[in-house]
Amino acid sequence: MNILNFPFDTAYNTAPFSKIENAHFLPAIKKAIQTAKDEIELIITNKDQASFENTIEALDFSGSELDRITSIFYNLNSAETNDEIQAIAQEVSPLLSEFSNDIRLNQDLFARVQQVYEKKDSLKLSEEQKTLLRKKYKSFARNGANLADDKKSVLREIDKKLSRLSLTFGENVLAETNAFELHVTSEKDLDGLPEGTIEAAKQLAESKQKEGWIFTLDYPSYIPFMTYAKNRALRKKLALAFGAKGFQGNKFDNQKNIIQIATLRHERANLLGYKTHAHFVLEERMAETPEAVFSFLNDLLLKAKPAAEKEFTNLQEFAKDLDGIETLQKWDSAYYSEKLKQKLFNLDDEKLKPYFKLENVIDGVFKVAYKLFDLNFEEIDSIDKYHKDVLTYKVSDDKGEMVAIFYADFFPRPGKRNGAWMTSYKPQYRLDGSNERPHISIVCNFTKPTKSKPSLLTFNEVKTLFHEFGHALHGMLANTTYPGLSGTSVHWDFVELPSQILENWCFEKEALELFARHYESDDTIPMDLINKIKESSTFHEGMQTLRQISLGLLDMNWHGIDPSGITDVKGHEKKAFASTQLYPDIPENCMSTSFSHIFQGGYSSGYYSYKWAEVLDADAFELFKEKGVFNKKVASDFKEHVLSKGGTEKPSELYRRFRGQDPKPEALLRRAGLIK
């Protein structure tokens, strides 16, 4: 019997990880596709006239078995993959693409959806139902339901190709990340590096039966090396390897892949009647048009660039005075920024890290969630994990009612992609009188404990944990009827608001005192360090803003234009970066070929949304600052109008209901120290 038969015979209906074998996935997914097709067939053959309940609602609940199984599969492909899973993904991906097209291009199903949509004004629907109806109708219209049969076939082919190309792109980036190691055998080459980083590199070398120390392109190894290693030549070597992923003319080269992805996305948009892929994507975002995004990014650029150029000049002069560096290069950036930051604020991550033991930070983020939203987190061992490092929790409210199941996976390992993300194994929804609670996960890549030290986080990693936990709260506190509108199923440029607003608590004394305690002495973080964290929070904000703008512009220059004339990936990228460039270009490096966010991770035409959401979060947090960072009324309003509502209404409406006004960009510029 396939263990992935549905529902699962487990505590809280959680994923039965320990019993799943790779061989289970393909047959289970094929069976679930057939079940979903049968559910669709029942909607189409229903003899009753099409209604909201028998068509729109039935459609949203259809395919739930397939969604559960594929969420397990793709989450494992990101967090615990291997050659076998990747091979299955290549096989499964076109099947799922074909299935989703079978639905979106099904004329009989669309006819029923259209019948309900055309009488929407006469139906007594709630706001949530109106949103679901509009979303379902649009999902057909925007995906080819109105196309002639021959064009539908073209669309199917494009989607299959895109599905495969995106997987290949990600596999290539992972392969290049894993393929490189910097093997250091001389102790003097470790000069400047923190003790914990050296110890972790030693352990890695030992695990590979090698002498010395090994540094990799995984963030917990790469970032400390680039920030602290005195050896400029080795920093350069590591930086060049990092920037060359997918750009080395080998079998993992991504240049052709991204030109094909951009071209196929453009063709798809044209086929559906849109000028570019960005026009297609942004129609369903807060920004609405590419023009609005370009205008937003260029307006920010205008305000941030003078500050960024001034910061860069100061950094260049500092590096020259300190070490005689004539031309500041990208591999000098983190190193001299950290040195300058230490000089200005006498604050470096090594001073802070002892106060940020991972277990304490986890406890801290739980305490913040309790003080704001009355959530309790209880670690449990009654549910399965996909890896021994994963932590599992039952989340409940103050009445003891279960709110969610929460998984947390914090350490890097082979088979786990870089970065940090939140995901879901089961959405929240209401069915047959029951409020089904969600299963939410966050995945990060923090430094593992060593023989002599626990996992101590940099302040950036603390922010990352709070960020992903903000996404998790959006999923956990969902309280909607329909799974298709639940949790993080919101406009893409709204989805980062809950994650980014939570980062603000990392800078607040009342929050830091809850969890920032020295891992040896248990002393609370001193007030002067808290003040320095706040003072230094706007350090190089101009340069960081410019960096985010540059990536947003790169994304729009791949997706907001006709890419058919692009033959030189690097040349195209240079043009996109021209207005934001500070450092000399590195000919052998290319950002696009490993820009997983836009070529694999769903951010195409959406990378601007990080900055867009920062405007929302800065404006929203000003209200918390005004009323008190743990003010129950403000927190309750945020939960009620933002976190629990998912995508049930337009985000601009939800935000106005919470804040009482539209967001003001000045709040972000004030917080960033770019205006007074």
Q: How many CB atoms lie within 10 A of CB 267?
A: 19
Alpha helices for 396-481 (secondary structure H) = 459-476
- Residue 199's contacts (CB-CB under 8 Å, 6 or more residues apart) are 450, 451, 452, 453
DSSP sequence for 145-169: TTS-HHHHHHHHHHHHHHHHHHHHH
468 catalytic? Reply is yes
Query: Where does residue 633 rank: exposed (0-12), middle (13-18), buried (19+ CB within 10 A)?
Result: exposed
Bridge partners, residue 456, by sequence? 357
The span from the first CA to the last CA of the chain, in angstroms, equals: 66
Residue 2 C-beta-side C-alpha neighbours within 13 Å: 16
CA angle 474, 475, 477 (to 5 degrees): 70
Q: Burial letters for 370-398: b for 16+ Cβ neighbours within 10 Å, e otherwise?
A: ebbbbbebeeeeebbbbeeebbbbbbbee
Q: Are 344 and 352 in contact (CB under 8 A)?
A: no
The single residue of 468, 573, 614, 622 carrying the catalytic annotation is: 468
Q: How many CB atoms lie within 10 A of CB 332?
A: 22
Q: Peptide bond before 454: cis, by omega within 30 degrees of 0?
A: no
Rounded CA-CA distance 499/614 in Å is: 10
DSSP sequence for 208-271: TT-SSEEE-SSHHHHHHHHHH---HHHHHHHHHHHHTTT-SSSTT--HHHHHHHHHHHHHHHHH
Residues assigned a catalytic role: 468
